[in-house]
């Protein structure tokens, strides 16, 4: 274990995980490490020799699945992907469950085996959006952490998407390094709700909020229709404005994302098309760069003219997923 790595991720109880911003002690150091990998992807190509990473998907993915594999392979690791939802036994997560229904295998039996097969375990598990208490308990990923016995990386859990949020800060910092904003202490970052055809989790918005707040290097504003408030524990520190035009005024970065209601849990509450970002709305900003985690519903959530325009960072943002994953995996390999 080197001195630098001790300051970037926080080991707890002897091992480290990457589940939320709470697992990170130095966001800027992790971002800088990722940007170093972007410049030199193979500089630690032997760090993961004879190490194996397992990627478990209980839900679909394009970017997270592929970027994490590329990142691990850049570090010399062997990667194995397992689509648990399609190819595995239906898992039971409840302690003391009487398994006389649809579930076939308990996580407390499966996870220790996976912990023996892999040096790092990565898991994607979306919320059901039916019961807030269940989803916000993060039982699925916590049960893997409890029983796997190896470091666990969240590939998006019921309430958070930390690799996405780390990527988002990398992308903002990279953009600032390439074109510094003049005469501003802090860039203005606006997270704006956008319409969608169906209710989506709050994960990306929660996670972006907690990371941006913890980073502390921006003037952070969140805008959404009434009734779509996110959980205070993630947004505390941000300015909440319900008038989107007012919120966008002078913005340097606009992060676009749909989410369903936290208070009236999982309901859509609004599908107001006026909230879709357009070039006309972009005129209110400081020629803002526009971000979105993808996948995106074109001309519902975000307009073609923005996605295909000069201000869009979305392709660069998605490409940066590799460097975020590589920095995190590298830290966990160094710590273990
Ligand atoms: N942004 C993101 O997590 O994309 P995927 O769902 O395709 O992995």
Q: What is the mean pLDDT of residues 220-224?
A: 98
323 CB-side CA count, 13 A:
25
User: Do 91 and 105 contact (CB within 8 A), yes or no?
Assistant: yes
295-318 pLDDT per residue, tens: 999 999 999 999 999 999 999 999
What confidence score (pLDDT) does residue 181 get?
Answer: 77
Q: If you take atom 7 of ligand 1, which residue's CA is the nearest one?
A: 62
Judged against a pLDDT cut of 90, whether residue 281 lies above it is answered with yes
- Distance, in Å, from the CA atom of 331 to the CA atom of 163, rounded to the nearest integer, reads 13
Q: What is the mean pLDDT of residues 146-161?
A: 98
The predicted model scores a pTM of 0.96
Q: Band of the pLDDT at 15, cuts 50, 70, 90?
A: confident
How many domains does the chain contain in total?
2
3-state DSSP call for residue 78?
A: strand
The reply to whether 239 and 190 lie within a common domain is yes
Query: Does the Cβ of 62 fall within 6 Å of ligand 1?
Result: yes
Q: Band of the pLDDT at 183, cuts 50, 70, 90?
A: low
Judged against a pLDDT cut of 70, whether residue 330 lies above it is answered with yes
What confidence score (pLDDT) does residue 256 get?
Answer: 98
121-131 pLDDT per residue, tens: 999 999 999 99
The reply to whether 142 and 209 lie within a common domain is no
The reply to whether 135 and 180 lie within a common domain is no
3-state DSSP call for residue 111?
A: helix
Q: Band of the pLDDT at 6, cuts 50, 70, 90?
A: low
Query: Does the Cβ of 68 fall within 6 Å of ligand 1?
Result: no
Q: Band of the pLDDT at 336, cuts 50, 70, 90?
A: confident
One-character DSSP codes across 228-264? -PPPHHHHTTSEEES-HHHHHTT-SEEEEE----TTT
- Distance, in Å, from the CA atom of 45 to the CA atom of 47, rounded to the nearest integer, reads 6
The reply to whether 13 and 118 lie within a common domain is yes
User: Do 331 and 3 contact (CB within 8 A), yes or no?
Assistant: no
The reply to whether 276 and 287 lie within a common domain is yes
Q: What is the mean pLDDT of residues 75-99?
A: 96
Q: Band of the pLDDT at 185, cuts 50, 70, 90?
A: confident
User: Do 157 and 203 contact (CB within 8 A), yes or no?
Assistant: yes
Our CA angle for 250, 256, 257, nearest 5°, is 145
The reply to whether 168 and 278 lie within a common domain is yes
**Domain of residue 192, CATH code:** 3.40.50.1370
Parent domain of 130: 5-160+321-335
The reply to whether 78 and 192 lie within a common domain is no
238-255 pLDDT per residue, tens: 999 999 999 999 999 999
Judged against a pLDDT cut of 50, whether residue 12 lies above it is answered with yes
Smallest CA-to-CA distance from 329 within 66, 83, 9, 115 is with 9
Nearest-atom index, ligand 1, CA of 318: 1
First to last CA, the chain: 8
- Distance, in Å, from the CA atom of 26 to the CA atom of 209, rounded to the nearest integer, reads 17
* % pLDDT > 70, the chain: 97
The reply to whether 150 and 213 lie within a common domain is no
The reply to whether 281 and 169 lie within a common domain is yes
Smallest CA-to-CA distance from 151 within 48, 58, 40 is with 48
Residue 161 alpha carbon to ligand 1 centre in Å: 9
Residue 293 alpha carbon to ligand 1 centre in Å: 7
The reply to whether 326 and 295 lie within a common domain is no
| Average pLDDT value over all residues in the chain | 95
User: Do 209 and 238 contact (CB within 8 A), yes or no?
Assistant: yes
The reply to whether 26 and 124 lie within a common domain is yes
Query: Does the Cβ of 73 fall within 6 Å of ligand 1?
Result: no
Query: Does the Cβ of 157 fall within 6 Å of ligand 1?
Result: no
Residue 48 alpha carbon to ligand 1 centre in Å: 24
The reply to whether 256 and 234 lie within a common domain is yes
> Exposed (0-12), middle (13-18) or buried (19+): which is 300, by Cβ within 10 Å?
middle
What confidence score (pLDDT) does residue 180 get?
Answer: 77
Q: What is the mean pLDDT of residues 22-39?
A: 97
């Amino acid at each position: 274990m080197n001195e630098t790595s001790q300051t970037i991720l926080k080991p707890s109880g002897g091992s480290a995980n990457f589940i939320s911003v709470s697992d990170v002690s130095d966001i800027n150091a992790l971002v800088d490490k990722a940007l170093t990998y972007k410049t030199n992807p193979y500089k630690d190509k032997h760090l993961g020799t004879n190490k194996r990473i397992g990627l478990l998907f209980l839900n679909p993915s394009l970017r997270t699945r592929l970027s994490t594999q590329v990142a691990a392979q850049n570090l010399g690791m062997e990667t194995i992907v397992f689509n648990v939802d399609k190819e595995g036994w239906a898992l039971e997560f409840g302690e003391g469950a009487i398994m006389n229904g649809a579930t076939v295998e308990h996580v407390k039996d499966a996870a220790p085996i996976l912990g023996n097969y892999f040096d790092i375990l990565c898991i994607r598990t979306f919320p059901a959006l039916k019961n807030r208490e269940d989803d916000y308990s993060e039982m699925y990923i916590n049960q893997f952490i409890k029983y796997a016995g190896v470091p666990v990386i969240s590939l998006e859990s019921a309430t958070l998407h930390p690799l996405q949020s780390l990527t988002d800060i990398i992308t903002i910092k990279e953009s600032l390094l390439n074109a510094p904003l003049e005469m501003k202490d802090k860039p203005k970052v606006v997270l704006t709700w956008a319409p969608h055809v169906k209710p989506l989790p709050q994960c990306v918005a929660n996670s972006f909020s907690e990371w941006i707040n913890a980073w502390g290097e921006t003037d952070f504003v969140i805008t959404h229709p009434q009734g779509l408030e996110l959980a205070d524990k993630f947004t505390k520190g941000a300015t909440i404005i319900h008038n989107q035009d007012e919120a966008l005024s002078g913005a340097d970065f606009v992060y676009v994302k749909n989410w369903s209601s936290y208070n009236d849990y999982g309901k859509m509450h609004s599908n107001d098309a006026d909230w879709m970002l357009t070039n006309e709305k972009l005129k209110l900003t400081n020629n803002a760069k526009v971000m979105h985690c993808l996948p995106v519903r074109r001309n519902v959530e975000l307009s073609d003219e923005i996605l295909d325009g000069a201000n869009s960072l979305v392709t660069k943002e998605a490409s940066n997923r590799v460097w975020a994953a590589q920095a995190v995996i590298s830290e966990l390999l160094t710590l273990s």
